[in-house]
Amino acid sequence: MLRRLLLPVIFAILAYGFWISPNTKEIAAGVAIFLFGMLYLEEGFRAFSGGLLERLLKHSTDRLWKAVSFGIVTTTIMQSSSLVSVITISFLSAGLIGLSSGIGIIFGANLGTTTGAWLVAGFGLKVDIAAYAMPMLAFGIILVFQKSKTLKATGYALSGLGFLFLGIHYMKEGFEAFRDTVNLAEYAISGFLGLVVFTLIGMVATVIMQSSHATLVLIITALAANQITYENAIALAIGANIGTTVTAIIGSMSANYQGKRLALAHLIFNFVTGAIAIVFIAQIIWMVTWVSDHIGIAADDYALKLAVFHTIFNVLGVVVMLPLVHRLVAVLNRVIPMPRAQLSEPKYINAAAFDFPETLLEAVRMETQHLYRNAFTIMAHGLNLDRSVILSDVNLDAHVDHNRHVFDFDIDETYNNKVKALHASILEFISKAQSKFSPDFANRLFALRNACLSIVSSTKDIKHLRKNISKYIRSNNEDIRREYNKLRVQIAEVLREIDVLEHSGEEDRDILALDELKVAFEASNTFATGELDSLIRKGRISAGMATSLMNDLGYARNAIWHLTDVATALYGSRDSQSKGAENLMSLTKDEVDDLRLDTKTKV
Amino acid sequence: MKSGKIIKYFHEIMNQDTADKKAALKKILAKMKKKSRKLKAKLAEAKTDKERAEIEGKLKVNQAHRKKGLKALRELNDK
Residue A578 domain-assigned? yes
Q: What is the pLDDT of residue A97?
A: 80
Burial of A26 (0-12, 13-18, 19+ CB in 10 A): buried
* Span A224-242, average pLDDT: 88
- Identify the domain boundary among A308, A335, A362: A335
Contact A584 B68 (CB under 8 A): yes
In terms of domains, do A168 and A295 share one? yes
Range of the domain at A256: 21-335
Q: Which residue has the higher pLDDT, A463 or A161?
A: A463
Q: What is the pLDDT of residue B41?
A: 95
* Confidence band for A40, pLDDT divided at 50, 70 and 90: confident
The answer to whether B60 touches A598, Cβ cutoff 8 Å, is: yes
* pLDDT score of A519 more than 60: yes
Identity (one letter) of the amino acid at A223?
L
* pLDDT score of A440 more than 80: no
- The whole-angstrom distance between A152's CA and the closest CA on chain B is 25
* Span A98-125, average pLDDT: 85
* Confidence band for A377, pLDDT divided at 50, 70 and 90: very high
In terms of domains, do A321 and A379 share one? no
Contact A599 B57 (CB under 8 A): yes
Burial of B9 (0-12, 13-18, 19+ CB in 10 A): exposed
* pLDDT score of A534 more than 70: yes
* Span A452-468, average pLDDT: 95
* Confidence band for B38, pLDDT divided at 50, 70 and 90: very high
Mean residue pLDDT across chain B: 85
In terms of domains, do A32 and A61 share one? yes
* Confidence band for A225, pLDDT divided at 50, 70 and 90: confident
In terms of domains, do A395 and A297 share one? no
Q: Across A424-499, where does the E strand assignment appear?
A: none
What is the chain A residue with the closest CA to B19?
A577
* pLDDT score of A467 more than 80: yes
Give the long-range contacts of residues A59-66, CB within 8 A, separation 24 or more: A61/A97, A61/A101, A61/A104, A61/A105, A62/A101, A64/A100, A64/A101, A64/A104, A64/A322, A64/A325, A65/A104, A66/A104
Predicted ipTM of the assembly = 0.82
Question: What gap in Å lies between CA A288 and CA A312, rounded to an integer?
Answer: 7
Residue A379 domain-assigned? yes
Contact B57 A512 (CB under 8 A): no
Residue A301 domain-assigned? yes
The answer to whether A248 touches A263, Cβ cutoff 8 Å, is: yes
In terms of domains, do A416 and A517 share one? yes
Q: What is the pLDDT of residue A131?
A: 81
In terms of domains, do A270 and A399 share one? no
* pLDDT score of A251 more than 70: no
Contact A581 B56 (CB under 8 A): no
Residue A7 domain-assigned? no
Q: Domain segments of chain B: what residues?
A: 2-78
Q: What is the pLDDT of residue A455?
A: 96
* Confidence band for A132, pLDDT divided at 50, 70 and 90: confident
- The whole-angstrom distance between A502's CA and the closest CA on chain B is 19
In terms of domains, do A28 and A55 share one? yes
In terms of domains, do A31 and A135 share one? yes
Q: Please count the structural domains in chain A.
A: 2
What is the chain B residue with the closest CA to A592?
B61
Q: Which residue has the higher pLDDT, A138 or A246?
A: A138
Mean residue pLDDT across chain A: 84
In terms of domains, do A277 and A374 share one? no
Per residue in A83-99, pLDDT (tens digit) is: 777 778 777 776 778 88
Question: What gap in Å lies between CA A262 and CA B27, rounded to an integer?
Answer: 42
- Residue among B25, B54, B68 whose CB faces A602 most closely: B54
* pLDDT score of A202 more than 50: yes
- Residue among A516, A577, A586 whose CB faces B20 most closely: A577
Question: What gap in Å lies between CA A117 and CA A81, rounded to an integer?
Answer: 13
Q: What is the pLDDT of residue A254?
A: 66
Q: Which of B61, B66, B74, B76 to mutate to test the interface with A (most CBs of A within 10 A)?
A: B61
Per residue in A401-426, pLDDT (tens digit) is: 888 888 888 888 889 888 999 999 99
**Measured between alpha carbons, how far is residue A110 from residues A209, A212, A296, A315 in Å?**
18, 10, 25, 9
CB < 8 Å to A582, chain B:
28
| CA neighbor of A327 nearest in space, from A272, A392, A259 | A272
- Residue among B53, B61, B65 whose CB faces A602 most closely: B53
Contact B65 A599 (CB under 8 A): no
Residue A11 domain-assigned? no
CA atoms within 13 A on the CB side of B67: 9
Per residue in A165-193, pLDDT (tens digit) is: 888 888 878 877 766 665 666 777 778 88
* Span A390-398, average pLDDT: 91
Fold exhibited by the domain B2-78: Methane Monooxygenase Hydroxylase; Chain G, domain 1 (1.20.58)
- The whole-angstrom distance between A520's CA and the closest CA on chain B is 7
- Identify the domain boundary among A304, A335, A366: A335
Q: What is the pLDDT of residue A602?
A: 44
Q: The pTM is what?
A: 0.66
Question: What gap in Å lies between CA B32 and CA A517, rounded to an integer?
Answer: 16
Q: What is the pLDDT of residue A119?
A: 82
* Confidence band for B60, pLDDT divided at 50, 70 and 90: very high
In terms of domains, do A266 and A237 share one? yes
Burial of A19 (0-12, 13-18, 19+ CB in 10 A): exposed
CB < 8 Å to B61, chain A:
512, 515-516, 519, 587, 595
* Confidence band for A342, pLDDT divided at 50, 70 and 90: low
- Residue among B21, B50, B64 whose CB faces A591 most closely: B64
Identity (one letter) of the amino acid at A489?
V
Residue A53 domain-assigned? yes
CB < 8 Å to B65, chain A:
512, 515, 585-587
Q: What is the pLDDT of residue A495?
A: 96
**According to the per-residue pLDDT averaged within each range, which of A7-21, A231-245, A519-533 is highest?**
A231-245
Q: What is the pLDDT of residue A180?
A: 63
* Span A557-579, average pLDDT: 90
Q: What is the pLDDT of residue B35?
A: 94
- Interface residues of chain B, partner chain A, Cβ below 8 Å: 20-21, 23-25, 27-28, 31-32, 35, 49-50, 53-54, 56-58, 60-61, 64-65, 68-69, 72
* Span B28-54, average pLDDT: 92
Q: Which residue has the higher pLDDT, A599 or A490?
A: A490
- Identify the domain boundary among A309, A335, A361: A335
Question: What gap in Å lies between CA A446 and CA A427, rounded to an integer?
Answer: 10
| CA neighbor of A119 nearest in space, from A77, A156, A159, A147 | A77
Residue A401 domain-assigned? yes
Contact B61 A516 (CB under 8 A): yes
**A478-503 vs A357-382: helix axis angle to the nearest 10?**
160
Contact A515 B50 (CB under 8 A): no
Q: What is the pLDDT of residue A3?
A: 60
In degrees to the nearest 10, what's the CA dihedral of A130, A132, A138, A143?
-140
In terms of domains, do A246 and A380 share one? no
Residue A255 domain-assigned? yes
- The whole-angstrom distance between A590's CA and the closest CA on chain B is 12
Percent of chain A residues topping a pLDDT of 90 = 29
* Confidence band for A531, pLDDT divided at 50, 70 and 90: confident
- Residue among A519, A577, A603 whose CB faces B61 most closely: A519
In terms of domains, do A307 and A162 share one? yes
The answer to whether B76 touches B29, Cβ cutoff 8 Å, is: no
